[in-house]
Amino acid sequence: MNLKKMTINSIHEGLVKKKFSALKLTKEYLKQIKKQNKKINAFITLNEDEALYQAKKVDEKIKQNKKINILEGIPFGLKDVICTKDLKSTGGAKILDNYIPSYDATVVEKLKKAGAVLIGKQNCDAFGHGASNEHSMYGPVKNPHNTKKVAGGSSGGSAAAVASNMCLFSLGEDTGGSIRQPASLCGVVGFRPSYGRNSRYGIMPMASSFDVVGPIANSVEDIAYIMEIIAGHDKKDSTTIKKSVPKYSSEIKNKNKKLKIGIPKEFFNLESLELETKKIIEKKIEEIKKQGHKIIDISLPLSKYALAVYYILVPSEDSSNLARIDSVRYGVRDSEAKNLYEVYSNSRKNGLEEEVKRRIMIGTYALSAGYFDAYYKKAMKVRTLIINEFKNAFENVDYIITPTLPFPAFNIGGKKDDVLAMYLADMFVCPPAVAGLPAISIPVGKTKKKLPVGMQIIGKQYDDVGVLKTAYNFENK
């Protein structure tokens, strides 16, 4: 069985035509995990017994000649910030090393109902705080293309697992780039849907007004199949939108009209954009132009403030969202604590990672009396301006294309101590997140050192289907 060549369609066909069983397939992926995970460190927890049991159930159905869903029997993984009933969910932080949720996240419920087989929980920066997966308390995830390099973050385990065929797809979570960025570094497709398209219920939050859950897979078509299942309004999440869910998998194959593609000059003129990356993207843009699409230079002058806005608003919401991780009702409690204060302070001191603490401190500061207006309120205003800037841009263009990152995967340990340099990794993925827009990263080439480079396509709000369709047309076949 060649896992490298598997797609949702090919597996579905294989199962239906009984070329292989779901059990065999799941075992193959588990075998691959056992072979690869020591090296890559993509999984924190395996769901082996339950996965095999679920696979057998799918086989039963096939045996009885019952119709199976498109995702039925397909092994997938979940970023460990996504809560799974009766299965440990750490969020990449030791403070939750003993936390077993009493409930499933809505997206998990939907995937389970669709018959997909959960194979394990994936490594990530603690509570999503990081751009390189070096801030996981379960060790860094390594890039399958070069294990000395980072896999990106924070959904690094989810991207690396797909890239190294340890599962067919993953769900990640994207606050400021955490799906697209590792997908780009690992050479796979990562989609950040519009804010509110997918339910956040059961996703350990970082910043409630930014977070989205989305798929990471080998192809845009696979992404479309997954989105069809997980998208939609959820009464448990008041911020989900009530728009109906299109049939993405067939919509993306409709004939594409000629598009107007915006190229923001600020992104391409950036000093930190490495030449090799720039060239690969520019070559891709040439190709697109040759397909008859119109390339238009645009300007997004405010986008350079997106990171600043992000680093005020996200830590603010973050510091609040993480307050519940107090080791009172669940989580690892410091056994030496002598009083309530020590329960809080020692447990959080030992169980939270340094980047998490840094963001809690920034956020707590920004929300403090006397600073709220200067930081949070002002950042909210700038956020509105950025949203409007994108809106205006989309009056003239259909989609915007940028590199996903200014550079390919960097060395593990290479930027860890330089917080600001690390934050630059999110330079291009952050602005659409601030604006709540759908954006996708697709692999478009490799550097001389065989490191993947991804291209980002950004669409207007709720034009998820358009973004997927454009990506489907532009992806290297």
Partner 1 sequence: MKYTVIIGMEVHVELKTKSKMFCDCPNNLNENEANKNICEICLAEPGTLPTVNKRAIAWTVLIAKALKCNIAKKSKFDRKHYFYPDLPKGYQISQFDEPIGERGLIDLTFPLENVTRKDGKIKITRVHLEEDTAKLTHDLNNNTLVDFNRAGTPLVEIVTDPDFKSAIEAKIYLQELQLIFRYLGVSDAEMEKGHMRCEANISVQESGKFEIVGGIIKPLGNYKLNNKVELKNLNSFKAVEKGINFEIKRQTELLEKNETWIQQTRGWNEKKSETYLQREKENSADYRYFPEPDIPPFEPENFFDLKIGELPIEKRNRFIKEYSFSYVDAKILTKNKKWADFTEQIMSELYDWLESIQDKENLNVHKEKIARLVGPWITGKLIGLMAEDKIKLKDLRFSAENFAELVSLIYTEKINSTNALKVLKEMVNNKKDLDPSHVMEEKGYGQIKDQNKIGDMIDEVIKSYPNQAEEYKNGKETILKFLIGMVMKASEGSADPNIVEKILKEKLN
Name the residues annotated as catalytic. Answer: 79, 154, 178
Does 179 sit near partner 1 (CB under 8 A)?
no
CA–CA distance, 66 with 298 (Å, rounded to integer): 53
Does 329 sit near partner 1 (CB under 8 A)?
yes
Stretch that binds partner 1, among 71-79, 177-185, 269-277, 318-326 (CB under 8 A): 318-326
Q: Among residues 155 and 319, whose Cβ is nearest to partner 1?
A: 319
Within 364-383, which residues bind partner 1 (CB under 8 A)?
Answer: 364, 367-369, 372, 376
Cβ neighbours around 134 below 10 Å, total: 22
Does 317 sit near partner 1 (CB under 8 A)?
yes
The size of the chain, in residues, is 477
Question: Shortest gap between Cβ of 321 and partner 1 (angstroms)?
Answer: 8
Taking phi over 0 as left and psi of -120 to 50 as alpha, with beta for the rest, 91 belongs to left
CA–CA distance, 231 with 425 (Å, rounded to integer): 28
Give, in degrees to the nearest 5, the angle at Cα 76 between 32 and 477. 85
Question: Shortest gap between Cβ of 112 and partner 1 (angstroms)?
Answer: 16
Does 204 sit near partner 1 (CB under 8 A)?
yes
CA–CA distance, 266 with 268 (Å, rounded to integer): 6
What is the four-CA torsion angle of 344, 350, 356, 362, rounded to 10 degrees? 50
CA 169 to chain centre: 11
* Helix 8-16 with 22-40: angle, nearest 10 deg: 150
Question: Shortest gap between Cβ of 36 and partner 1 (angstroms)?
Answer: 28
CA–CA distance, 319 with 357 (Å, rounded to integer): 9
- Tell the residue number behind the tokens 């997106």, with chain if given: 306
Q: Among residues 368 and 388, whose Cβ is nearest to partner 1?
A: 368
- Tell the residue number behind the tokens 């930081």, with chain if given: 375
Does 314 sit near partner 1 (CB under 8 A)?
no
Within 22-51, which residues bind partner 1 (CB under 8 A)?
Answer: none
Does 462 sit near partner 1 (CB under 8 A)?
no
Options 29, 43, 76, 99; binder of partner 1; rule CB under 8 A: 99
Does 346 sit near partner 1 (CB under 8 A)?
no
Within 62-81, which residues bind partner 1 (CB under 8 A)?
Answer: 81
Which positions touch partner 1 (CB under 8 A)?
A: 81-83, 89, 91, 96, 99, 101-103, 105, 200-205, 207-209, 235-239, 316-317, 319-320, 322-326, 328-330, 340, 344, 364, 367-369, 372, 376
